[in-house]
Amino acid sequence: MPTSVGIGNFRRLGEVLTVLRIAFIVAGLVGVIRSDANAAEPLEESLRELASPDSDVVERRLNELAASGNAALIPALEALCDARLRVAPDGAVYYTAPKERTLRHPLTGTIVDPQPSGTHEVEVNNQIRRQALPVLAELKLRSPAEAVRMAAAQELDGRGDAESVAILRSAFKDEQVKRVRDAMALALARWDLQSTDPERQIAALAIARALGTSSLKGELKRLAGATPDASIRKAAAQALDDIESRQHFLDAVGALFHGISLASILLLAALGLAVTFGLLGVINMAHGEMLMLGAYATYAVQMAFERWLPGLVRYYLLAAVPVSFLATLLAGVLLEKTVIRFLYGRPLETLLATWGISLGLIQTVRLIFGAQNVAVANPDWLGGGIEIANGLVLPYNRLAVIAFAVAVAVAVWLLLQRTRLGLQVRAVTQNRAMASCLGIATRRIDMWMFGLGSGIAGLGGVALSQIGNVGPELGQTYIIDSFMVVVLGGVGRLAGTIVASLGLGVINKFLEPFAGAVLGKIVVLAFIILFIQRRPQGIFAIKGRVEA
């Protein structure tokens, strides 16, 4: 069993250090007349102690700072939470703005000149963050920006103490924007539910009924069960019911979104295969590696931007899309010209050859980039998400992948239906001999088709790099899913691929909460096997004569 005696020792040591530090600061103030006149301000002195190694001292200082209610403290406190606060050897604290290195004065925000040397980072941990965030939220309740006030109200929901509730109440009176008012009302209601004044409780229950989230359920259950006042019991039960039905609806919307998001990934992974396997009939075991190459091309573009265009690095992803497409398209064309074209009509040999190629590609990438996964960062504009309701967040990267999947699917459809190449492709897939008779260079079409399928896989790789890991074995995890989608959808049908990925994605996500991730996958697999037994041609069968 671990002992916690160590903590006590640290605490005592911390206090000694703090006393020493205060003594030191005072001595410094008395002994040396410093040019920085602000140093004597009590606020700044409290700020200085945020650098204390003792979390309890920091906690006390944070409470003092909160009591001051001074909005000038916001940047310094934000810097504390983000580990951007720095302390100089003389105990003075400074902060740096995000992604900057220059030290700023903690209260005025002006760049300090000359820059103090030998500063080190003020260590921050969850305990300090948990203390600092409500303090920050209290200060931010009067911010001119609506989003900031909103976030502050949400932060204080369930976090605040009696003091922050008083601040919240006064801010609520002045608040004009309905969205923020609602958030504040909810935070206040949570507090009022625990009050002993029945009128307050009833009012809070009305708010809880209209706006409440499942985090209120515990408190409401208590009120519905053991309150002497029957009207409160009833109101609590009603609020509970409303919250639960709202929650069920949100759960369903959430599952639907997650399903569509999974479907978009399946679609991007399978769309390229739908072209090479579906239209061309090549059992391409190296398809997964095309996804992998696309993801590595994204990584390469990111590295190139970091090295040569550091100012534009947040937009590297936009450049990665065409680069990955072209790189994998070239790889596909090369593959077709050197290997695949000699193996048309011999499925077993194609399977073995492409599988060998896939091993070769994995090993090549491992030799160049190493066996470790590489870090493909989400650009900051893809981080985070929009909260459409309390508890349901749609992450931007998922939304972007969905939009991207739709765009790619539409582009492929347009290419096949609206261009000359598409017309020739359809002709070749439907009747190769006849197409050849009519003067279509079928060999060339094959080459471009294979290249196109690989290029689409490359685009899938760009999307996958934003969701999962980028490593040499990336393709292996998606190859089975890709074949599953294409076979289920019906070989040779793009619409089938789209419907199949949507179906699989949504079914999977509705099953997961009940069955768990492992069992969910098994159930889906069993479903596909049964389905293929009943309907070997897949959801959409190609009508008419098709040569094998």
- Interface with another protein by CB under 8 A: which residues? 1-7, 9, 55, 83, 123, 125-127, 129-130, 133, 213-219, 247, 251, 254-255, 258, 261-262, 265, 285, 355, 359, 370-378, 383-385, 387, 391-393, 395-398, 467-469, 471, 473, 477, 509, 512-513, 516-518, 521
Is residue 382 within 8 A of residue 301, CB to CB? The reply is no
Reduced to 3 states (helix: H, G, I; strand: E, B; else coil), residue 22 is helix
Q: Give the nearest distance from C-beta 359 to another protein in angstroms.
A: 8
Q: Give the nearest distance from C-beta 292 to another protein in angstroms.
A: 14
Q: How far apart are CA 57 and CA 50, in angstroms?
A: 8
Q: How far apart are CA 358 and CA 355, in angstroms?
A: 5
Q: Give the nearest distance from C-beta 368 to another protein in angstroms.
A: 11
Q: Which is nearer to another protein, 86 or 493 (CB)?
A: 86
Q: Give the nearest distance from C-beta 107 to another protein in angstroms.
A: 25
Q: Give the nearest distance from C-beta 369 to another protein in angstroms.
A: 9
Q: Give the nearest distance from C-beta 431 to another protein in angstroms.
A: 32
Q: Which is nearer to another protein, 200 or 366 (CB)?
A: 366
Q: Dihedral sign, CA of 117, 118, 123, 128?
A: negative
Q: Which is nearer to another protein, 385 or 422 (CB)?
A: 385
Q: Which is nearer to another protein, 4 or 533 (CB)?
A: 4
Question: What's the N-to-C CA distance of the chain in angstroms?
Answer: 69
Q: How far apart are CA 376 and CA 379, in angstroms?
A: 9
Residues contacting 62, CB < 8 A, separation 6+: 50, 128, 131, 132, 135
DSSP track, 455-522: HHHHHHHHHHHHHS-BSTTHHHHHHHHHHHHHHHH-TT-HHHHHHHHHHHHHHHHHHHHHHHHHHHHH
Q: Which is nearer to another protein, 398 or 493 (CB)?
A: 398
Q: Give the nearest distance from C-beta 468 to another protein in angstroms.
A: 4
Q: Give the nearest distance from C-beta 280 to another protein in angstroms.
A: 20
Q: Which is nearer to another protein, 3 or 533 (CB)?
A: 3
Q: Which is nearer to another protein, 255 or 330 (CB)?
A: 255
Q: Which is nearer to another protein, 413 or 527 (CB)?
A: 527
Query: For the chain, how big is the Rg over CA atoms in Å?
Result: 31
Q: How far apart are CA 515 and CA 517, in angstroms?
A: 7
189-227: burial string, b at 16+ Cβ within 10 Å, e else: bbbbbeeeeeebbebbbebbbebbbbebbebbeebbeeb
